[in-house]
Amino acid sequence: MICGDDLTATNLNRLKKAVQMKAINAIIIKPNQAGSLIKTKEVFDYAIKHNITPIISHRSGETMDATIAHLAFAWQAPFVKFGISGEERLAKLNELIKIEKSV
C-alpha cells in the first residue's frame, strides 16, 4: 500500500488532491485530526468511494480510551493501526477483540 499519512492528515481537501494525483491507495484516518467525527467519517467515506483503503489509527500521546476500536468496527474499517506495545494500545486491541466476540 502507498499510504497517505502526514500528506493527507485526515483532511478531505488533501485526500481529494492525492486521489486526483493518484498519489496513494491507502490513508491513515486519525479521528483527532479532522476536528469532528462527522468530518472524519466524510474522509473515511470519500476514501472508500475512491478505492482508497482507510486505516483507522491511534494518535500519539495515547490514553486508555478505546473509542477508536468502536469506530473501526462500526465503520467496518479494513485495517486498524494501534501499535504493538504499551497498555494504551493494548486496551484498544482488547476492546476490538471484545466487540468481535460479542457479535
Looking at beta carbons, which pairs linking 95-102 to residues 24 or more positions away fall under 8 Å? 95/66, 95/69, 95/70, 96/66, 96/69, 96/72, 99/69, 99/70, 99/73, 100/73
At 3 the three-state DSSP class reads strand
Residue holding cell 471484545? 98
Q: pLDDT grade, residue 103 (50/70/90)? A: confident
Residue range 85-92: mean pLDDT, rounded: 84
CA 90 to chain centre: 16
pLDDT of 31 reads: 85
For residue range 10-49, what is the model confidence (pLDDT) as tens digits? 899 999 999 999 999 999 998 888 889 999 999 999 999 9
HSE-CB at 79 with a 13 A cutoff on CA atoms is 15
Indicate the range of 23-27, 43-47, 78-82, 87-91 predicted with least confidence.
Answer: 87-91
